[in-house]
Amino acid sequence: MKNEDTNSLFPGLLSEAPKGKIKVVSSINSKAVKPMYFSYSKLSLYEECSLKYKLKYIDKLPEEPKFYFALGNSVHNAMEFMYAVKSPPFPELKDVLKELKREWKTRNWMQKGYNSIAHEAKDYQKAVDMIEAYYEKHHKIFKVPFLLEYRTTVEVDGLKVIIIVDKINYLGNGEIEIIDYKTGKNVSRSTDQVYLYQKICEHDPRLKEKIHQIYGDRVSTLKVKNMEYYYVPGLREIKFERGQEVDIQSLWDRVLKAADGIRAEEFKPNPGELQCKFCDYKAHCPIFTDNKNIITTEKEQINYDKDGAYSKLASLVDEYGKISTRINSFNKELENIKTEIAEVFEKKNIASYSGKNYSLNMKKIEKWHFKNRDAVIGLLKKKGLYDKVLAPVLKNIVDLLSDESITESVKKEIKAQGDKKEVLNFEIKNISEQV
């Protein structure tokens, strides 16, 4: 999979959060929901650590180049070159390797994120070996694919979802097969990524057009018949049946939940050995800035006992507990200060105030919480309102409550599904010159 998340492609709502402002309380924005640009990478990063998501996509803090992307991108590029013909013959192996070398040389070892020339040279050799082995195994059965590196953006439920599919084969009768190349060691991938591809491909009108242009077939519906992760290092194909409705829906619910969380500005650190180890934002993360001595992600500390048990597990569990306790205590402290400020503001009937370094604005915002998402969606469908919310995200459901075209009795039924809270929204801004 190529990275779908270049800045120029994601100019939507996510990029609009003002820099230098700290939202003390998450709140639902009262402005109309703009379509949000979304991708599999965004979903997985938000679920992994929502604070890291914010620092990357909203604050747009730069990350260091990662050497493992250099290897993956070069192999993907060579695979694309290998198949990019309208009809046979396919390029010879020597030409594919020439293309691999050309792409590899476009950046030096430091720009690619390697810590030494030797490490870079080792990975280049790995890429050469992978391409040679793949070519050797498959070149006699090469087929011209329907599409390579197919990039599309499809709007579904108020989200503009971007996908880049490595290879698509057309099987006839409106059916396609999706192939995603993997160059890492991990062969136990979840189906999330391909299920998202299935959903988006099947909603994509451009694909039907392309089938017509290339094969002359006019298809009314397009169906993903099967999907495959191809592990290039081990020349191993892992095939999947198309996802069932229930699987796709459950993935999509997670996508909508993540989108709700992002719109509500719910961003919390979620420390874990793997995600923190490769995270460039430790200097911006309270877990690391306040607990420098608690967490360590150094490789040499990962030791296994003779019987295979993870000897550090108990201390990791304790570290996790300690950090969680600290986060809770910070949050509690913040809540206490907030309550105190709110009391003074109410007494003095003011809504903003400045300290030496920060200014603070307070707004009262109604916040709804619907415990049973399925019940609300069922009710909306029954009342013919499902299409009206475009996507059953919280903001759109809440908007129905002030929609004049909806009867009071229906609004009452929707309200009965949820709880309304009035929350205080603090918007704090650093006003000191030094910071």
Q: Least separation, in Å, of the C-beta of 321 and ligand SF4?
A: 15
Q: How many CB atoms lie within 10 A of CB 211?
A: 21
Output the six-digit token pair for 149.
């590196």
Output the six-digit token pair for 132.
């040679």
Q: Least separation, in Å, of the C-beta of 331 and ligand SF4?
A: 15
Tell me which stretch binds ligand SF4 (CB under 6 A): 122-130, 131-139, 152-160, 284-292.
284-292
Q: Least separation, in Å, of the C-beta of 192 and ligand SF4?
A: 19
Its sign, for the CA torsion 47, 51, 56, 62, is: negative
Output the six-digit token pair for 211.
């089938």
Tell me which stretch binds ligand SF4 (CB under 6 A): 112-120, 238-246, 279-287, 333-341.
279-287
Complex with ligand SF4: residue 108 or 324, whichever CB lies closer: 324
92 Cβ neighbours under 8 A, 6+ residues apart: none
Complex with ligand SF4: residue 90 or 267, whichever CB lies closer: 267
Output the six-digit token pair for 267.
């961003």
Q: Least separation, in Å, of the C-beta of 51 and ligand SF4?
A: 4
Output the six-digit token pair for 150.
């197919």
Complex with ligand SF4: residue 91 or 271, whichever CB lies closer: 271
Q: Least separation, in Å, of the C-beta of 397 and ligand SF4?
A: 30
Output the six-digit token pair for 136.
């050797």
Q: Least separation, in Å, of the C-beta of 48 and ligand SF4?
A: 7
Complex with ligand SF4: residue 49 or 200, whichever CB lies closer: 49
Q: Least separation, in Å, of the C-beta of 270 and ligand SF4?
A: 6
Q: How many helices (H) and strands (E) does the chain have?
A: 14, 10
Which of 285, 360, 400, 414 is close enough to bind ligand SF4 by CB under 6 A?
Answer: 285
Contact at 8 Å (CB) between 112 and 67?
A: yes
Q: Does 154 bind ligand SF4 (CB under 6 A)?
A: no
Instruction: Work out the end-to-end distance of the chain between its first and last CA atoms, rounded to an integer number of angstroms.
Output: 39
Q: Least separation, in Å, of the C-beta of 18 and ligand SF4?
A: 20
Complex with ligand SF4: residue 29 or 270, whichever CB lies closer: 270
DSSP 8-class letter at 127: H
Which of 258, 276, 400, 414 is close enough to bind ligand SF4 by CB under 6 A?
Answer: 276
- DSSP code per residue over 35-103: PEEE-HHHHHHHHH-HHHHIIIIIS-------HHHHHHHHHHHHHHHHH--SSSPPPPHHHHHHHHHHH
- Interactions with ligand SF4, residue window 35-64 (CB under 6 A): 49, 51-52
Q: Does 269 bind ligand SF4 (CB under 6 A)?
A: yes
Complex with ligand SF4: residue 53 or 134, whichever CB lies closer: 53
Complex with ligand SF4: residue 54 or 210, whichever CB lies closer: 54
Q: Which residues pair with 181 in a beta bridge?
A: 230
- Residue keyed to tokens 């396609």: 176
Output the six-digit token pair for 232.
């290039």
Contact at 8 Å (CB) between 180 and 203?
A: no
Which of 91, 271, 392, 418 is close enough to bind ligand SF4 by CB under 6 A?
Answer: 271
Q: Which residues bind ligand SF4 (CB under 6 A)?
A: 49, 51-52, 269-271, 275-276, 279, 281-282, 285, 287-288
